[in-house]
Amino acid sequence: MMSQVDIAAVKQYLLALQDRICEELAAEDGGANFVEDAWERPGGGGGRSRVISNGAVFEQGGVNFSHVFGDTLPPSATAQRPELAGRSFQAMGVSLVIHPHNPLIPTSHANVRFFVAEKPGEAPVWWFGGGFDLTPYYGFEEDCTEWHQKAQAACQPFGEEVYPRYKQWCDDYFFIKHRNEPRGIGGLFFDDLNEWGFEKTFAFMRSVGDHYIQAYRPIVNRRKTLAFTETQRDFQLYRRGRYVEFNLVYDRGTLFGLQSGGRTESILMSLPPLVKWRYDWQPEAGSAEAKLYTDFLRPRDWLASA
């Protein structure tokens, strides 16, 4: 049993997770592979970014591994934990965003990460965070229900209360306050988790990481051959604007990366290649576009829909 913090084991898992997700997504795409870009951070550490572009299914996607360290935690990491100011840190994780070309396939995001903050003569302070969430443009009840069933399955071994707690946290976190609307239909989100002890918390992070591709790949497979219209594509590009707004204004990972002197190309790989904004646009009442707002972009118990 691992009673001590095992940084090497976490890194080994994350690298293997990146490999596995890239292999499965490339196989599902069938027309393109991920291109790897290894990089080093001047302040300490580095990573490997993998990007797929102009595939048969995925217009753009990135699966990024990073392991960075430094002498001082950036403001985004100590805002809620002022006692950590002045500690050296290590941060590692896998973060990914996949933007399909077909607007009937949802965008997906996942992230699992590990932090250690250290000070000579004191025990290290560590925590895990992560989750995954789904952003449809044209909602399918079956997809959303299945996504949340997989999220529940990831949490099930760790207690009945875990899925409802982290489902709610995801709904709250991925909420675009200035638009007063959710970014998508949620999933799981957790952060600053260490109260279970290292071994159990690491196992939970692995479960979340492992369930992402199990949840997403069947949805992609089901929708990738569906025909779509230019109107649907146009709406997808408009809705991608919400994704950009959230990531640049609220996302903790983006802010941490930029504030810690991370690699900008890797941090901003989550942004879609094409996007539109329109002034004060509203969907036509009763349209498929309006249905996204009325039926999907609202808090729901997706498991009750099963």
Maximum distance among all Cα pairs of the chain, rounded to whole angstroms? 64
263 carries a ligand binding annotation:
yes
112 carries a ligand binding annotation:
yes
261 carries a ligand binding annotation:
yes
Distances (CA, A) of 227 to 12, 103, 143, 283, 286: 40, 10, 17, 21, 21
The 10 Å Cβ neighbour count of residue 28 is: 20
Rounded to whole angstroms, how far apart are CA atoms 189 and 183? 13
99 carries a ligand binding annotation:
yes
Catalytic residue among 67, 101, 109, 211: 109
Q: Is 67 in the active site? A: no
63 carries a ligand binding annotation:
no
113 carries a ligand binding annotation:
yes
The C-alpha angle with vertex 29 and arms to 114 and 302, in degrees rounded to 5, equals 60
111 carries a ligand binding annotation:
yes
Rounded to whole angstroms, how far apart are CA atoms 59 and 296? 24
| Binding site per annotation, positions for substrate | 95, 111-113, 261-263
| Binding site per annotation, positions for a divalent metal cation | 99, 109, 148, 178
| Binding site per annotation, positions | 95, 99, 109, 111-113, 148, 178, 261-263
Catalytically active residues, by annotation: 109
